[in-house]
């Protein structure tokens, strides 16, 4: 029971914005972590937001004509271009406001996409938009595979996960590589605010969204979103799996503000064993102890890299002189 | 007051775009249209145009950014050619389906392979059926005029479709001509700021680019199809208004010594001007040649074509792209399809010329006319001048 | 604006398939999906609102006294609320 209430402010949910910008009736699976994350994101953003969405679960389940679950202005164009569309919307709003054709009010552009749309096919658009310094947030909802099309692997799929294009079998352990470190790539783009988050830590996530919204420039949030359907775990385990991903060190929650790294939640002194995370998920069911050791090694490499950077990173403002 | 200027046509196109006061320009360089976005970025840098210029990282992102900006209610422009157009090709059919106006200058260039940066129409032919209005300029003046007209047509409340303005790469883009450039006051009068049908803004929440399940997809497609057909009405109105304001006349098909021609030829784009010289030479010899200049390609002016070829005995359709595996080349396929039901039809020959920028001279056109006069062609289509 | 009849005709369909009715997904009642539904025991409930926060369907609402219930029109029976309720005030029953 202790694991459930750690890092959690019990009575604070009452202080969250009561408005629902992602309405009921959407067709996401039971227990969808991504739908929950988007619902929380919208609460943190408020109504002066325009959302651009890549093709994926959230676009397909939320907007089958003639109904839409979205109560924010929203546009979907194609799979790889959420960030490019977002940069266009941001530029348009900027110039229309400057020319006096729309009200003189801050409207934030938030581009969202899944791990497929962001790490793989859409990485170019994100790189371009972040590099050009548009005043927008990019939030990737990482459920670690191309879930909408049937659980195919992406570059965010962890080692050993069985997906339909890299299935486990006699000659295969499943996915052969570790998750692409998109947050690092964004820090390398000199994005002023980069953070990792998870819906299982809702206030941490919402605070990061609020912080990203305040940046006058690009911001990037990598949000882990549990997919019970694709990860093959029970639908009620959605929140728990996210917590375990964090507590085992697989997905540490940190932020990089002006180049300075900081862990945003208190990590347990001793990380939980990987088996706690792997056993409840059907996609890892086939892993043998030596393969779990490889998994652990890869995860610990990334985790220790983050710890190193937290210890040694200096803010860019400091480093300019 | 309009004034007479002499400059490179690509730069003139950029000046014309600037006169239209675009809000967002997102473009990626590709030969031969590069001078258009380059000169626009110069105009913005000099402070002559208040506009957000996005030096995007690819053509795909260029059109994506333009779509997003158009969705937010801005007036947008981009330019590309050939491979760039194919790279943004995924987005090309999405723009008209969302009824978002985007104006694009195409510096027509051959699509690879083999890689070739010179002029033909294979790039625009690859995307011709996707729902964009498409006009062809034959010279610098038409380029300027069509660019300004394109904004008015595309953004019109009864149209709301994106528009291609085609100008031949190098043959037009890099050529210096004398042209009449309208001034800002005239363009402002002709083209007021855009009034979008819907815009992404929290005061009027809308979802754009939604999922079209099988039970509604057919209706969505038909709606765009009808919009394309009805756009012809708006195009003719805009052209009439242009003639009134600027004195220059535009029609979907314009004839040159075509009324009494025995052999008629139809071209699109600047190559028609060389063909005109051939018509003149032939007329001197007593040969009754005539020329049709197809200015509006999409929506294809069906009735205008039927009228223009009535009574003609021999009709040469000039194409500047190959339709691999097809019975003829693209434009000829459309012409034959239109004339199929006519009680009296001319003998049709199809010459594909100037692929990949190969030069086509006056004598070549004269040869084509003389060959057509001899009777039914041996083959349905010919790649003119190919060795072997 | 008069209600449009479904299925729409091509003349009737919104240009570009744009949707102007924000949140209109509520016309689709996902409650039919579930195999189990959550029941609150208000004697155990401490009114923390965790269930409300973690519902992906946004179907849990607070009543006048501060207790919570799920809107059974939309509840998909995923069980997250039951799993996260640390005082164990929620149980899932077959539906």
**Residue C22, CA distances (Å) to A15, A35, A74, B246 in order:** 24, 17, 10, 45
Closest CA to B259 of B234, B279, B238: B279
Of B246, B274, B305, the one marking the end of a domain is B246
Instruction: Answer for the pair A127, A189: CB distance below 8 angstroms, yes or no.
Output: yes
| Spatial separation of the C-alpha atoms in residues A199 and A197, rounded to whole Å | 7
- The answer to whether position C9 is within a domain reads no
Cis peptide before A72 (omega within 30 of 0): no
Domain that includes residue C68, residue range = 29-94
Helices A123-131 and B59-71 sit at what angle, rounded to 10 degrees? Answer: 70
Q: Chain C contact for A62, CB < 8 A?
A: yes
Query: Looking at residue B78, what DSSP letter applies?
Result: E
Percent of residues, chain C, with pLDDT higher than 70: 97
**pLDDT computed for residue A18 by the predictor:** 87
Write out the two tokens for C41: 């025991």
| Spatial separation of the C-alpha atoms in residues B54 and B58, rounded to whole Å | 11
Q: Is B38 helix (H, G, I), strand (E, B) or coil?
A: helix
Closest CA to B120 of B110, B128, B112: B110
Closest CA to B26 of B72, B4, B338: B72
| Spatial separation of the C-alpha atoms in residues B293 and B264, rounded to whole Å | 11
- The answer to whether position C6 is within a domain reads no
Chain A residues with CB under 8 Å of C29 CB are 25
- The answer to whether position C8 is within a domain reads no
Chain A residues with CB under 8 Å of C73 CB are 24
Q: What DSSP line would sit under C29-76, residue for residue?
A: -GGGG-SEEEEE-TTT-----HHHHH-TT--EEE-TTS-EEE-TTT--
Cis peptide before B105 (omega within 30 of 0): no
Q: Is C89 helix (H, G, I), strand (E, B) or coil?
A: coil
Number of domains composing chain B: 2
Instruction: Answer for the pair B111, B150: CB distance below 8 angstroms, yes or no.
Output: no
* Residue B192 sits in the same domain as residue B294: no
Helices B35-45 and B9-19 sit at what angle, rounded to 10 degrees? Answer: 50
Q: Is A261 helix (H, G, I), strand (E, B) or coil?
A: strand
Q: Chain B contact for A94, CB < 8 A?
A: yes
Identity of the residue in B64, B71, B204 whose CB atom sits nearest the CB atom of A84: B64
Average pLDDT over residues B258-272: 96
Average pLDDT over residues B32-37: 96
Domain that includes residue B115, residue range = 3-246
- The answer to whether position A12 is within a domain reads no
How do residues B288-320 score in pLDDT, each as one tens digit?
999 999 999 999 999 999 999 999 999 999 999
Average pLDDT over residues C40-67: 93
**pLDDT computed for residue A11 by the predictor:** 55
Main-chain phi, psi angles of B65, to 5 degrees: -65, -40
Residues in chain A, pLDDT under 70: 1-13
| Spatial separation of the C-alpha atoms in residues A73 and A52, rounded to whole Å | 9
Q: Is B54 helix (H, G, I), strand (E, B) or coil?
A: strand
Q: How far is C45 from chain A (nearest CA, A)?
A: 12
Domain that includes residue A50, residue range = 2-7+17-319
User: Beta strands of B320-384 (E only): which ranges?
Assistant: 347-352, 381-383
Write out the two tokens for A238: 């959605």
- The answer to whether position C83 is within a domain reads yes
CATH of the domain at B369: 3.40.50.920
Main-chain phi, psi angles of B146, to 5 degrees: -70, -35
Query: Looking at residue A266, what DSSP letter applies?
Result: -
Of B220, B246, B272, the one marking the end of a domain is B246
| Spatial separation of the C-alpha atoms in residues C71 and C45, rounded to whole Å | 18
| Spatial separation of the C-alpha atoms in residues C15 and B101, rounded to whole Å | 12
Q: Chain B contact for A123, CB < 8 A?
A: no
Write out the two tokens for B260: 């009494």
Number of domains composing chain A: 1
- The answer to whether position C42 is within a domain reads yes
| Spatial separation of the C-alpha atoms in residues B33 and B164, rounded to whole Å | 13
**pLDDT computed for residue A4 by the predictor:** 43
Instruction: Answer for the pair A41, A16: CB distance below 8 angstroms, yes or no.
Output: no
B69–A63: do the CB atoms touch at under 8 Å? no
Instruction: Answer for the pair A262, A309: CB distance below 8 angstroms, yes or no.
Output: no
Q: pTM for this structure?
A: 0.95
- The answer to whether position A136 is within a domain reads yes
CATH of the domain at A173: 3.40.50.970
The H or E element that residue B108 is part of is strand B103-108
Average pLDDT over residues B342-362: 96
Q: Chain B contact for C5, CB < 8 A?
A: no
B56–A85: do the CB atoms touch at under 8 Å? no
Number of inter-chain CB pairs under 8 A, A vs C? 126
Q: Chain A contact for C23, CB < 8 A?
A: yes
Number of domains composing chain C: 1
Give the residue from chain C lying closest to A34, CA to CA: C56
Count of CB atoms situated within 10 Å of the CB of B357: 18
| Spatial separation of the C-alpha atoms in residues A60 and A89, rounded to whole Å | 21
**pLDDT computed for residue A223 by the predictor:** 97
Chains touching A by CB (3 or more pairs below 8 Å) = B, C
User: Beta strands of A248-290 (E only): which ranges?
Assistant: 254-257, 260-263
Write out the two tokens for B301: 């002016």
Closest CA to B110 of B34, B31, B38, B164: B31
Q: Chain B contact for A106, CB < 8 A?
A: no
**pLDDT computed for residue C95 by the predictor:** 86
**pLDDT computed for residue A1 by the predictor:** 39
* Residue B342 sits in the same domain as residue B208: no
CATH of the domain at B218: 3.40.50.970
- The answer to whether position B388 is within a domain reads no
Chain A residues with CB under 8 Å of B91 CB are 77-78, 81
pLDDT at C20 over 50: yes
A68–C86: do the CB atoms touch at under 8 Å? no
Please, which pLDDT band fits residue C1 given cuts at 50, 70 and 90?
A: very low
Q: Chain B contact for C22, CB < 8 A?
A: yes
Identity of the residue in B23, B60, B71 whose CB atom sits nearest the CB atom of A80: B60
Main-chain phi, psi angles of A193, to 5 degrees: -140, 115
A71–C22: do the CB atoms touch at under 8 Å? yes
| Spatial separation of the C-alpha atoms in residues B170 and B107, rounded to whole Å | 8
Identity of the residue in C25, C55, C77 whose CB atom sits nearest the CB atom of A23: C25
What ipTM was estimated for this complex?
Answer: 0.95
Please, which pLDDT band fits residue B352 given cuts at 50, 70 and 90?
A: very high
Residue whose structure tokens are 């004269």: B366
pLDDT at C2 over 80: no
Average pLDDT over residues B63-69: 98
Of B246, B264, B285, the one marking the end of a domain is B246
Give the residue from chain B lying closest to A60, CA to CA: B211
How do residues B127-184 score in pLDDT, each as one tens digit?
999 999 999 999 999 999 999 999 999 999 999 999 999 999 999 999 999 999 999 9
Q: Chain C contact for A16, CB < 8 A?
A: yes
Number of inter-chain CB pairs under 8 A, B vs C? 54
B56–A101: do the CB atoms touch at under 8 Å? no
* Number of residues assigned to chain A: 321
Give the residue from chain C lying closest to B199, CA to CA: C18
Q: What DSSP line would sit under B210-253, residue for residue?
A: -B--HHHHHHHHHHHHHHHHHHHHHHHHHHHHHHHHH-----SE
Average pLDDT over residues C3-16: 90
Q: How far is A198 from chain C (nearest CA, A)?
A: 12
CATH of the domain at C40: 3.30.70.20
The H or E element that residue B44 is part of is helix B35-45
A23–C27: do the CB atoms touch at under 8 Å? no
| Spatial separation of the C-alpha atoms in residues A23 and A62, rounded to whole Å | 9
| Spatial separation of the C-alpha atoms in residues A143 and A261, rounded to whole Å | 24
Q: Residues with Cβ < 8 Å from B338, sequence gap 6 or more?
A: B300, B302, B305, B306
A84–B68: do the CB atoms touch at under 8 Å? yes
Q: Which residues 72-91 of chain A have a CB within 8 Å of chain C?
A: 72
Test the B interface: residue of C16, C20, C25, C26 with most B CBs within 10 Å: C16
Instruction: Answer for the pair B197, B160: CB distance below 8 angstroms, yes or no.
Output: yes
* Residue B288 sits in the same domain as residue B343: yes
Query: Looking at residue C2, what DSSP letter applies?
Result: P
- CA terminus-to-terminus distance, chain C: 38
Q: How far is C22 from chain A (nearest CA, A)?
A: 5
Q: Which residues 25-84 of chain C have a CB within 8 Å of chain A?
A: 25-30, 33-34, 46, 48-50, 52-59, 71, 73-74, 76-80, 82-84
B202–A50: do the CB atoms touch at under 8 Å? yes
Give the residue from chain C lying closest to B225, CA to CA: C10
Test the C interface: residue of A66, A141, A237 with most C CBs within 10 Å: A66
| Spatial separation of the C-alpha atoms in residues A117 and A114, rounded to whole Å | 5
Write out the two tokens for B216: 């509604």
């Amino acid at each position: 029971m202790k694991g459930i209430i750690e890092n959690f402010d019990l009575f604070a949910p009452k202080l969250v914005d009561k408005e629902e910008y992602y309405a009921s009736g959407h067709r996401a699976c039971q227990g969808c972590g991504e739908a929950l994350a988007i619902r929380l994101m919208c609460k943190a953003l408020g109504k002066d937001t325009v959302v651009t969405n890549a093709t994926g679960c959230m676009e397909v389940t939320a907007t089958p004509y003639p109904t839409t679950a979205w109560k924010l202005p929203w546009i979907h164009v194609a799979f790889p271009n959420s960030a490019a569309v977002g940069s266009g919307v941001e530029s348009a709003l900027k110039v229309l406001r400057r020319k006096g054709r729309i009200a003189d009010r801050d409207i934030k552009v938030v581009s969202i996409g899944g791990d497929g749309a962001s790490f793989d096919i859409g990485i170019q658009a994100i790189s371009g938009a972040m590099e050009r310094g548009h005043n927008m947030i990019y939030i990737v909802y990482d459920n670690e595979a191309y879930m909408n099309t049937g659980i195919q692997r992406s570059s965010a799929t962890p080692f050993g996960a069985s997906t339909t294009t890299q299935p486990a079998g006699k000659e295969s352990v499943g996915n052969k590589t570790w998750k692409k470190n998109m947050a690092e790539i964004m820090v390398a783009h000199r994005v002023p605010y980069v953070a990792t988050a998870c819906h299982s830590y809702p206030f941490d996530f919402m605070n990061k969204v609020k912080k990203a919204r305040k940046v006058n420039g690009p911001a990037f949030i990598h949000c882990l979103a549990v997919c019970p359907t694709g990860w093959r775990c029970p639908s009620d385990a959605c929140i728990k799996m996210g917590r375990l991903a964090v507590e085992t060190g697989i997905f540490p929650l940190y932020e990089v503000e002006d180049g300075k790294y900081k862990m945003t939640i208190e990590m347990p002194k001793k990380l939980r064993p990987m088996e706690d995370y792997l056993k409840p998920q059907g996609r890892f069911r086939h892993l043998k102890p030596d393969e779990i050791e490889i998994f652990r090694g890869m995860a610990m490499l990334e985790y220790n890299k983050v710890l190193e950077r937290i210890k040694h990173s200096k803010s860019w403002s400091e480093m300019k002189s | 007051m309009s004034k007479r200027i002499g400059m490179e046509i690509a730069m003139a196109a950029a000046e014309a775009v600037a006169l239209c006061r675009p809000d967002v320009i997102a473009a990626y360089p590709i030969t031969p249209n590069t001078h258009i976005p380059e000169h626009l970025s110069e105009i913005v840098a000099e402070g002559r145009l208040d506009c957000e210029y996005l030096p995007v990282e690819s053509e795909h992102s260029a059109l994506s950014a333009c779509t997003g900006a158009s969705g937010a209610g801005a007036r947008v422009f981009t330019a590309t050619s050939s491979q760039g157009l194919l790279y943004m090709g995924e987005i090309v059919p999405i723009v008209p389906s969302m009824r978002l106006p985007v104006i694009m200058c195409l510096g027509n260039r051959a699509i690879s392979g083999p890689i070739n940066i010179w002029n033909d129409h294979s790039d625009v032919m690859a995307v011709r059926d996707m729902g964009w209005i498409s006009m062809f300029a034959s010279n610098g003046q038409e380029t300027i005029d069509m660019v300004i007209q394109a904004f008015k047509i595309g953004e019109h409340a009864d149209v709301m479709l994106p528009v291609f303005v085609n100008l031949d790469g190098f043959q037009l883009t890099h050529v210096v001509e004398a042209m009449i450039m309208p001034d800002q006051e005239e363009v402002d009068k002709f083209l007021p700021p855009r009034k979008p049908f819907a815009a992404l803004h929290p005061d009027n929440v809308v979802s754009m680019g939604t999922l079209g399940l099988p039970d509604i997809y057919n209706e969505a497609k038909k709606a765009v199809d009808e919009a394309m057909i009805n756009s012809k009405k708006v195009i003719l109105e805009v052209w009439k208004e242009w003639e009134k304001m600027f004195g220059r006349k535009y029609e979907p098909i314009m004839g040159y010594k075509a009324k009494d021609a025995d052999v008629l030829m139809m071209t699109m784009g600047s190559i028609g001007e060389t063909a005109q010289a051939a018509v003149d030479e032939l007329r001197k010899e007593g040969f009754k040649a005539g020329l049709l200049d197809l200015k509006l390609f999409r929506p294809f002016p069906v009735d205008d074509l039927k009228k223009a070829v009535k009574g003609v005995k021999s009709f040469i359709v000039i194409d500047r792209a190959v339709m691999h595996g097809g019975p003829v080349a693209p434009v000829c396929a459309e012409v034959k399809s239109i004339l199929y039901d006519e009680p009296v039809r001319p003998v049709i020959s199809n010459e594909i010329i100037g692929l990949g920028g190969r030069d086509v001279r006056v004598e070549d056109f004269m040869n084509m006319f003389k060959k057509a006069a001899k009777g039914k062609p041996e083959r349905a289509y010919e790649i003119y001048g190919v060795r072997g | 604006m008069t209600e449009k009849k479904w299925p729409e005709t091509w003349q009737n369909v919104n240009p570009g398939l744009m949707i102007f009715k924000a949140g209109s997904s509520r016309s689709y009642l996902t409650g039919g999906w579930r195999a189990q539904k959550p029941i609150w025991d208000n004697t155990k409930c401490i009114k923390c609102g965790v269930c409300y926060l973690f519902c992906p369907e946004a179907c849990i609402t607070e009543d006048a006294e501060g207790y919570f219930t799920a809107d059974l029109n939309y509840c998909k029976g995923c069980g997250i609320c039951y799993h996260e309720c640390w005082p164990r005030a929620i149980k899932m029953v077959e539906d």
